[in-house]
Structure 1
Amino acid sequence: MLLLGIDLGTSSIKVSIVDARTQQCVASARYPDTESAISTPKPGWAEQDPGMWWDHVGHAIKRALGAVDPSHVGAIGIAYQMHGLVVLDKDGNVLRPSIIWCDSRAVETGNAALEAIGRGRALNHLLNSPGNFTASKLGWVKANEPKIYERVSKAMLPGDYIAYKLTGEQTTSISALSEGIFWDFKEDHLSEDVFTYFGFDTALIPEVRPVFSEHGRLGKAVAAELGLSAGIPVTYKAGDQPNNALSLNVLKPGEVAATAGTSGVIYGVTDQLLFDVASRVNTFAHVNYLPDAKRLGVLLCINGTGILNRWIRDQIAPGLSYEAINREAASIAIGSEGVRILPFGNGAERMLGNRLPGAQIHGLNLNKHTRAHLFRAAQEGIAFSFRYGLDILRENGMRPSRIRAGMANLFLSDVFTDAFVQITGVPVDLYRNDGSVGAALGAGIGVKAFANESDAFSRMEPVRTVLPTGDTGAYERAYNDWLSLV
């Protein structure tokens, strides 16, 4: 059996096809070839058209299917950018562009909800402040776009929408609802506090099903358009960070995953209902969460990571490959000879209390520093932001002894990887895996192609391990200087 995984990213759609027997990726494709646009109608806003996602999903699937026999595809899984809001009318039509994860407009909406519900009650039941998450975004629509809101029949996360387009069925999961701050963990049902405060009707929420379960079957017309067989089940969908953890076999309490793409994340699994009193890190239901076997993901998110690396390249050395950038960065000594870069320029940073400090460059000497210094300082600044966030996780009882990461994005850079490991003091195991492969394996778990969740990763081995050297003086001095600027 072949398993098809869709990764709905901010920049593009990636599709991978995995052979369930070997657990190996046999085909993959990405669409579009250039990064997808993010619309910013006002400062701090960030939107994308769900119709664009759907169009790109179709192109990516067709590209990937060119290398395999489509009739062997037996299940579909979906990973998606978290915290977005998609609103549909009664006929299933999208009513407005999706308000995506890095949009900051609902911060005050969420803060007002927190005060009304009560900080203690919200944290104990939601494990988070309503903050800038999906429920607050829907509350913003209700308050600011009432004519649109009154037509809303269903509110969805981005992956719920793609599954609906594939199958015609509208479903969601506890994991998805928890990332939207719709879920009460103490009562294990939709939050009465949130729905009462915002005046939401629970009928806005699609049918709740387990992450690993059937979320509908591929319709005939869609199947014909994509070149697939009708009736293939969608058996898995999860937010990109829980899915990234799944793709790295991070399923048990104490296991930790990291990713450093457009945004950066450390994601640790626990069996405790943990929360940060300042909501700098967030706790959501993991993909294998069950009311009687709780598995939760404690998520540290840094909005401005890879997007800074890309911005530096595009502005200073357009057309230069990331491999060339990494080589130039490696030619500069640890500490970038005093250049310090704060990467916080992609929306409100939760770990900084939802502040918007913007990306900043400090210590630039026009007579000494070159673009290579900026390349290195950017990657060090991103690694330092991970250290800052990991210290917050440690305050909350998460003390990883190892971190697993996919060998992709910034983890392809020796400069970044070494800085990350040395400044955090935590070994990193690197794997050749990604979100679309994880989504495919998740579909295999959902369709019971594997004996259990762990069996889906029985052939997975790290391709590289990076260890702390213990000689971190130069990094610590640079980090403390960087920290004084935050």
Structure 2
Amino acid sequence: MLLLGIDLGTSSIKVSVLDAATRECRCAVTYPPGEERDITARQPGWAEQRPAQWWADAQAAIQLANASGRYDPQAIGAIGIAYQMHGLVVVDKNQQVLRDSIIWCDSRAVPYGEAAFQAIGEARCLSHLLNSPGNFTAAKLAWVKENEPETYARIDKIMLPGDFLAMQLTGEITTSVSALSEGTFWDFTGQELSGDVLNYFGFDRELFPKTQAVFAEHGQLRPAVAATLGLRPGIPVSYKAGDQPNNALSLNVLHPGEVAATAGTSGVIYAVTDQLLADRASRVNAFAHVNHRPEAPRLGVLLCINGAGSLNRWTREVAGAGLSYPQMNAQAATVPAGSAGLLCLPFGNGAERMLNNRQVGAHFQHLDLNRHTAVHLFRAAQEGVAYAFRYGLDVLRENGLYPSIIRAGHANLFRSEVFTQAFVNSTGVAVELHETDGSVGAALGAGIGAGAYAAPADAFASQLARRLVEPDQDAATYEDGYQRWLQQLQVQLAARPDFPTPLP
């Protein structure tokens, strides 16, 4: 049996087709090829994308993969979906999308989440939701309810981006405890939809789809869609998870003490624990992992940096026109560690949860017009992301999480030797690189959900690390650089003591 994995990212959609028996990747396609999808920002701090574009790109990616001739599309027996987390998609009773999706890095709903945090009570939110409602899906829905009442009145179901793709494939709308928790809709103490959140915001329970396990059938491929895609009708969508839990799955990070990282559009460290852990200021966030069960808790504690690959992309567009990412990485490697004193704060992609939902913005500090070149910008940007990871890892350490090794896919920024070594030297934690990505994880998840593997561990029986990256002779340089970077960040934080702004 072949397995189809779909990874709905912010910049593109990637699909992979795996042989369930051998774990061999028969084909991998990214769509659109050679470019990245835009984010619409109609006002400062806003970020939206069109679900119709996601669906068009997903179909194009699958058709392109099928056209490769590397496998028989009729042999695909299960579909898995990974998706950008925390986005809001709303549809009417005819499953028609009512507005563009308010995606993960949109900051407009922060005041709504902060008001709920205070009204429900900080202690109760942290003990029941494990988070502040902050800027998650619940707060985004509250913004729609307050500011677009006509749209809100027409909503039949709310969903996350991956739920939308599954709906397009199957006609069914489902959710999971993992998905509900990432929207701050789930009460971990009561093991149910949060009455606190629903009552405070005035949400009707009928807005929420039926709840399924992550590894379960979320519908079957509709005949008309199957004909368009060249697949067999009736194929189950047997797995659906947010991109960070899915990235952890792809790295076989399933048990307490195991830690995954990714550096795509955003940067994330994701640590698995069996404790219902909540950060005192909700700077890092705990969600139900893909294998969470009430009797065997598995929580993913997520540190998110909004501006990681997005900063790298901006730097290339502004200072590296015409360069590919590998070319830019190679040029960055010609500059010694520390970027000749140039520092970068990478926080220009919305409110940062680990900075208490402040919008600090991106900054290049100590720019010397007689010394620094575009190449210094390339390296400083990647080092700045690494320093942000160090800052966030220190928050995780405050919460009792001390990883000795971090697993990451050899993808996105982790393809850069400069970034990978800067990450290791800044954090002091070795990184184990694997040849996997989100679409591969989604395909393996589909196999687990469809019963191709007796247990999740069986899906990773042949997975070996590509290599281990450890701190080197530049570790002291990066420690000094981080301390100078931290001073600059503290200056910017002090200049923004009152964010988030109150409700209008």
State the shift of 1:480 in Å: 0.5
Residue by residue, what CA displacement relative to the aligned partner does 1:126-167 show, whole Å, maximum 9, x if unpaired? 000000000000011001100000110000011111101100
* Residue 6 (structure 1) aligns with: 6
Residue by residue, what CA displacement relative to the aligned partner does 1:45-97 show, whole Å, maximum 9, x if unpaired? 00011111111110001111123101100000000000000001111110000
Residue by residue, what CA displacement relative to the aligned partner does 1:281-318 show, whole Å, maximum 9, x if unpaired? 00000000111111010000000011111111110111
AA of the residue aligned to 1:53 = W
5+ long unaligned stretches in structure 2: 490-504
Partner Cα separation in structure 2 for residue 411 and residue 296 of structure 1: 25
Partner Cα separation in structure 1 for residue 146 and residue 474 of structure 2: 54
Partner Cα separation in structure 2 for residue 394 and residue 22 of structure 1: 38
Residue by residue, what CA displacement relative to the aligned partner does 1:430-453 show, whole Å, maximum 9, x if unpaired? 001000000000000000101100
Partner Cα separation in structure 1 for residue 477 and residue 56 of structure 2: 48
Matches within 5 A, 1:128-207: 128-207=131-210
Partner Cα separation in structure 1 for residue 471 and residue 56 of structure 2: 44
State the shift of 1:469 in Å: 3.2
Partner Cα separation in structure 1 for residue 28 and residue 478 of structure 2: 38
* Residue 29 (structure 2) aligns with: 29
1:453 to 453, 456, 466: 456
Aligned length: 486
* Residue 95 (structure 2) aligns with: 92
AA of the residue aligned to 2:260 = A
1:242 to 230, 245, 252: 245
2:313 to 310, 313, 335: 310
Matches within 5 A, 1:185-334: 185-334=188-337
CA contact (8 A) 2:337 2:474 kept: no
Partner Cα separation in structure 2 for residue 471 and residue 345 of structure 1: 27
State the shift of 1:15 in Å: 0.5
Partner Cα separation in structure 2 for residue 365 and residue 427 of structure 1: 33
AA of the residue aligned to 1:41 = R
Partner Cα separation in structure 1 for residue 474 and residue 268 of structure 2: 25
* Residue 72 (structure 1) aligns with: 75
2:128 to 118, 125, 129: 125
The TM-score with structure 2 as length reference comes to 0.96
Residue by residue, what CA displacement relative to the aligned partner does 1:406-438 show, whole Å, maximum 9, x if unpaired? 001111111111111111111110001000000
* Residue 54 (structure 2) aligns with: 53
CA contact (8 A) 2:4 2:446 kept: yes
Q: Are 2:117 and 1:108 aligned?
A: no
Residue by residue, what CA displacement relative to the aligned partner does 1:242-265 show, whole Å, maximum 9, x if unpaired? 000000000000000000111000
Q: Are 2:385 and 1:382 aligned?
A: yes
* Residue 343 (structure 1) aligns with: 346
State the shift of 1:472 in Å: 2.0
| SS in structure 2 of the partner of residue 465 of structure 1 | strand
AA of the residue aligned to 1:58 = Q
State the shift of 1:324 in Å: 1.7
AA of the residue aligned to 1:320 = L
AA of the residue aligned to 1:42 = Q
| SS in structure 1 of the partner of residue 270 of structure 2 | strand
Name which of structure 1's ranges 399-408 and 321-330 shifts more when overlaid on structure 2: 321-330
State the shift of 1:467 in Å: 1.2
Q: Are 2:32 and 1:17 aligned?
A: no
Partner Cα separation in structure 2 for residue 310 and residue 319 of structure 1: 12
Alignment CA distance shift 1:300-1:3 (3 Å): same
* Residue 437 (structure 1) aligns with: 440
* Residue 409 (structure 1) aligns with: 412
Partner Cα separation in structure 2 for residue 263 and residue 319 of structure 1: 23
| SS in structure 1 of the partner of residue 488 of structure 2 | coil
AA of the residue aligned to 1:9 = G
Residue by residue, what CA displacement relative to the aligned partner does 1:165-221 show, whole Å, maximum 9, x if unpaired? 100111000000000000000111000000000110111000000000000000110
* Residue 393 (structure 1) aligns with: 396
| SS in structure 2 of the partner of residue 71 of structure 1 | helix
CA contact (8 A) 2:287 2:301 kept: yes
Partner Cα separation in structure 1 for residue 124 and residue 396 of structure 2: 21
Residue by residue, what CA displacement relative to the aligned partner does 1:313-333 show, whole Å, maximum 9, x if unpaired? 110111111122112211111
AA of the residue aligned to 2:121 = G
Partner Cα separation in structure 1 for residue 81 and residue 486 of structure 2: 38
| SS in structure 2 of the partner of residue 41 of structure 1 | coil
Partner Cα separation in structure 1 for residue 448 and residue 163 of structure 2: 18
1:476 to 454, 474, 479: 479
| SS in structure 1 of the partner of residue 217 of structure 2 | coil
CA root-mean-square deviation: 0.8
2:428 to 422, 425, 428: 425
Name which of structure 1's ranges 328-337 and 430-439 shifts more when overlaid on structure 2: 328-337
AA of the residue aligned to 2:41 = T
CA contact (8 A) 2:274 2:298 kept: yes
AA of the residue aligned to 2:3 = L
Partner Cα separation in structure 2 for residue 374 and residue 264 of structure 1: 19
Partner Cα separation in structure 1 for residue 419 and residue 173 of structure 2: 41
State the shift of 1:470 in Å: 6.8
| SS in structure 2 of the partner of residue 359 of structure 1 | strand
Partner Cα separation in structure 2 for residue 470 and residue 332 of structure 1: 15
* Residue 496 (structure 2) aligns with: none
5+ long unaligned stretches in structure 1: none
State the shift of 1:471 in Å: 5.8
Name which of structure 1's ranges 309-318 and 439-448 shifts more when overlaid on structure 2: 309-318
Alignment CA distance shift 1:280-1:241 (3 Å): same
Identity %: 65
